[in-house]
């Protein structure tokens, strides 16, 4: 570990002179390499992650050289590990950016209170609302326990009491953290945004060209690009597929995610396994995922709850029509009649109706998709949101909060 420097009493001078600030990113529940790449382009970044048993801490290897340490898998032990680590090395960092508002955030916020270290909670998802989705989509793998739900709520309250500042992805998430009771400064910054050079409508795959992506040669392709989790509501999508197939519609559902086996198992229970095309998650920084968006006839975000939702934004950037449930942060991006279609969450018949309209009314789909792409370029383009993040960090350093 490099020698400790003096506490950051000169933050304002450093920001004004353009010195690269030193950030620590604390990751409790896994993150995306695109976030690390974007932050490391602006700041000297170090990352500490909780070990994810049976999974990965970061979805891909970052393209930029970033120092990464992995701590214990237990959330309690990880929080204690972070706390001890910061006691020793807190003066190495100008700002700590900690994911969410759970135990690791509590450890960081305690450090902030004790030593005046600048801490920002980076909120990508409404944790307690996602957890409640387990009651709406019960499963053996994701059981709902009232004690755990109460614990999440208590942690949200404590972090709101002790915390200094939040960066959130959407206005919806701003309302969520504000409801915790003591939230002070909240800034909406939708990082990591969308790389519109990669995700673009430069060409659309022909039916024949689908073979290169392992897709069906005929019929309409519905892309479900979400991970498989209770809040993503893949059950409603598969019930919708059954409705459409029973009515004679030639449609397929495509999913590429780490949980595709659960997806396939549920399709088998519903008798539609022949009409789903599944596989492992694709690298979002490579051309293959963008090509998959372009090959699809429509992209579905079927969430029961959503913090923001990047898949619809990537689809729109590629010129693909989007249908989304009318929940959470999706209401800020997918506006029915303007940038796509919406339907009441969990309503398979309404989703089927929206799919039919999007597939048959080609001109209207093109109009909404074009408007959606303009929205992505104006509000969510990668360079725009990371520039906003840099300004927000500078404000946090100048304000001392």
Task: Evaluate whether residue 203 is within a structural domain.
Answer: no
**Which residue has tokens 């790389």?**
195
Residue 108: band (very low, low, confident or very high) from pLDDT cuts 50, 70, 90: very high
Query: What CATH number is associated with residue 114?
Result: 3.40.50.2000
Residue 257: band (very low, low, confident or very high) from pLDDT cuts 50, 70, 90: confident
Is residue 221 domain-shared with residue 186, that is, in the same domain?
Answer: no
Is residue 245 domain-shared with residue 334, that is, in the same domain?
Answer: yes
Is residue 115 domain-shared with residue 250, that is, in the same domain?
Answer: no
Task: Evaluate whether residue 202 is within a structural domain.
Answer: no
Across the chain, mean pLDDT equals: 91
Is residue 390 domain-shared with residue 338, that is, in the same domain?
Answer: no
Which is nearest to 241 in space by CA: 274, 213, 216?
274
Which is nearest to 307 in space by CA: 190, 209, 200?
190
Dmax (CA) of the chain: 71
Query: Total domain count for the chain?
Result: 2
**Environment class of 4 (CB within 10 Å of its CB; exposed 0-12, middle 13-18, buried 19+):** exposed
pLDDT higher than threshold 80 for residue 2: no
Is residue 188 domain-shared with residue 295, that is, in the same domain?
Answer: no
| Domain housing 216 | 208-379
pLDDT higher than threshold 50 for residue 7: no
Residue 65: band (very low, low, confident or very high) from pLDDT cuts 50, 70, 90: confident
Is residue 88 domain-shared with residue 221, that is, in the same domain?
Answer: no
Is residue 285 domain-shared with residue 140, that is, in the same domain?
Answer: no
Query: What sign results for the dihedral spanned by CA atoms 350, 355, 361, 364?
Result: positive
pLDDT higher than threshold 70 for residue 258: yes
Question: CA–CA separation, 274 vs 49, rounded Å?
Answer: 39
pLDDT, tens digit, 9 for 90 and up, residues 21-32: 999 999 999 999
pLDDT higher than threshold 60 for residue 162: yes
pLDDT higher than threshold 80 for residue 319: yes
Mean pLDDT within 292-315: 96
Task: Evaluate whether residue 223 is within a structural domain.
Answer: yes
Is residue 179 domain-shared with residue 117, that is, in the same domain?
Answer: yes
Is residue 185 domain-shared with residue 228, that is, in the same domain?
Answer: no
Is residue 362 domain-shared with residue 394, that is, in the same domain?
Answer: no
pLDDT, tens digit, 9 for 90 and up, residues 214-241: 899 889 999 998 888 999 999 999 999 9
């Amino acid at each position: 570990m490099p020698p400790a420097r003096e506490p950051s009493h000169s933050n304002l001078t450093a920001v004004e002179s353009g010195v690269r600030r030193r950030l620590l990113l604390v990751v409790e529940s896994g993150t995306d390499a695109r976030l690390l790449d974007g932050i490391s382009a602006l700041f000297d970044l170090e990352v500490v992650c909780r070990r994810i048993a049976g999974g990965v801490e970061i979805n891909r290897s970052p393209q930029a050289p970033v120092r990464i340490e992995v701590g214990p898998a237990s959330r309690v032990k990880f929080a204690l590990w972070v706390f001890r680590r910061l006691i020793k090395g807190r003066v190495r960092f100008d700002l700590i950016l900690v994911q969410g508002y759970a135990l690791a955030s509590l450890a960081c916020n305690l450090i902030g209170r004790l030593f005046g270290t600048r801490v920002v909670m980076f909120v990508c998802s409404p944790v307690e609302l996602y957890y409640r989705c387990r009651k709406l989509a019960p499963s053996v793998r994701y059981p709902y326990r009232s004690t755990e739900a109460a614990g999440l709520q208590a942690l949200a309250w404590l972090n709101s009491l002790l915390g200094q500042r939040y960066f959130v992805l959407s206005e919806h998430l701003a309302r969520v953290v504000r409801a915790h009771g003591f939230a002070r400064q909240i800034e909406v910054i939708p990082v990591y945004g969308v790389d519109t050079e990669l995700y673009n409508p430069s060409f659309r795959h022909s039916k024949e060209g689908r073979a290169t992506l392992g897709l069906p040669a005929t019929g309409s392709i519905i892309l479900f690009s979400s991970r498989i989790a209770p809040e993503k509501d893949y059950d409603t999508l598969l019930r919708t597929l059954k409705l459409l197939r029973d009515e004679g519609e030639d449609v397929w559902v495509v999913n590429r995610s780490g949980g595709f086996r659960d997806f396939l198992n549920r399709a088998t229970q519903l008798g539609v396994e022949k009409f789903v095309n599944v596989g492992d998650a694709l690298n979002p920084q490579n051309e293959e995922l963008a090509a998959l968006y372009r090959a699809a006839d429509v992209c579905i975000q079927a969430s029961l709850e959503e913090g923001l939702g990047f898949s619809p934004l990537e689809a729109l950037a590629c010129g693909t029509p989007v249908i989304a449930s009318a929940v959470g942060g999706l209401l800020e991006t997918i506006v029915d009649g303007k940038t796509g279609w919406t339907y009441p969450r969990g309503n398979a018949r309404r989703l089927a109706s929206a799919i039919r309209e999007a597939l048959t009314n080609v001109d209207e789909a093109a109009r909404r998709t074009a408007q959606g792409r303009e929205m992505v370029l104006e509000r969510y383009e990668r360079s725009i949101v990371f520039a906003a993040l840099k300004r927000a960090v500078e404000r946090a350093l100048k304000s001392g909060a």
